[in-house]
Amino acid sequence: MRRRAVLTAAVAAFLPGTVMAAPKAEPWPRWAAHDPHATHDVDHSAWDALLIRHRKDAADGIARFDYDALAASPEDRAALGAYLTALAGIAISRYARDAQMAFWIDLYNALTVDIVVRHWPVASIRDIRISPGWFSVGPWGRKAVAVEGEELSLDDIEHRILRPLWNDPRVHYAVNCASLGCPNLPPRAVTAANLEAVLARGAAEFVAHPRAFRIDGGRLRVSSIYEWFKADFGGTDAGVIAHLRAHAAPARADALAGFARIDGHDYDWSINRARGSAL
């Protein structure tokens, strides 16, 4: 079933007007192991430093990443590579749940940046067609890292670990797919200590932005995230709207009060490059 969903998403990318399907959340039981008594955390300082240097806030509320600057810096590329190697060497199943969730979020985001930089310049992450299969679109299906001896893809991390094992829809506001339509890349590395704050801030900031939802002529349009992953947001239009209202500021929440259905969805797959960086 998961393979069929991936294929549907791939074919949809070539068929304008087709609703893109997303992989279902199917738990990988092997990654449910954890130590509830563990107090140690993962060192994410290298990723934190790279975010401070290369993640850029923009006036339109959409954070960008300076892939051009990172690609041109041997020191920073080496730092990113060393960070990913260090994460791959961690026995993450021996950590507590908050440290684990932070680990998987940071690993996903750092891997995404690394993949984009390795193929830079690109206009969209979907142009990095390295996933297996004839109709592959994007890098998400490609095995990109090994943790505790298991080869993992970005799809594995998001759809077989983060989504099903934590069952928290706010994870969609923390993982970044290098696109303008995606929720912002967190400004700092995620840790066990700041995890809840990162998830809460990510949800509030995205829902506050027009790319999460807008009302045009009395019709409600939302981010395609809420269509692709509707099951994570209650499974119905009403569930999505309730989620949006729960995380919106009062004025935005009140604007949704009269809506019971969603009339359309949009998503911008353009690369979230820093303004002025090369393509």
Encode pLDDT of 8-30 as tens digits.
344 444 333 334 568 899 999 99
pLDDT digits (tens, 9 = 90+) for 53-112: 999 999 999 999 999 999 999 999 999 999 999 999 999 999 999 999 999 999 999 999
Query: Hey, is 151 helix, strand or coil?
Result: strand
Segment 104-116, tens digit of pLDDT? 999 999 999 999 9
Burial 107-137 (b: 16+ CB within 10 A, else e): bbbbbbbbbbbebbebebbbebeebeeeebb
Q: Using CA atoms, how far apart are residues 8 and 16, in angstroms rounded to an integer?
A: 13
Q: Is 139 a residue whose pLDDT tops 90?
A: yes
Judge contact between 267 and 198, C-beta under 8 A.
Answer: no
How much is the pLDDT for 141? 96
pLDDT at site 28? 98
Cα separation, 176 vs 183, whole angstroms = 6
Short-list 113, 233, 161, CA closest to 265: 233
State percent of the chain over pLDDT 90: 88
Which residues make Cβ contacts (< 8 Å) with residue 88, sequence separation at least 6? 145, 146, 147
Average pLDDT over residues 227-231: 98
Mean pLDDT score, 209-234: 97
Reported as a single tens digit per residue, the pLDDT across 34-47 is 999 999 999 999 99
For residue range 188-209, list pLDDT tens digits in order.
999 999 999 999 999 999 999 9
Nearest to 91 by CA among 149, 47, 46: 149
CA-based radius of gyration for the chain: 18
Question: What would the mean pLDDT of 260-265 be, rounded to a whole number?
Answer: 97
CA 191 to chain centre: 16
Residues comprising the chain, all counted: 279
Gap between the Cα atoms of 72 and 105, Å rounded = 25
Q: How much is the pTM?
A: 0.92
125: left (phi over 0), alpha (psi -120 to 50) or beta: alpha
Average pLDDT estimate for 157-163: 98
pLDDT value of position 104? 99
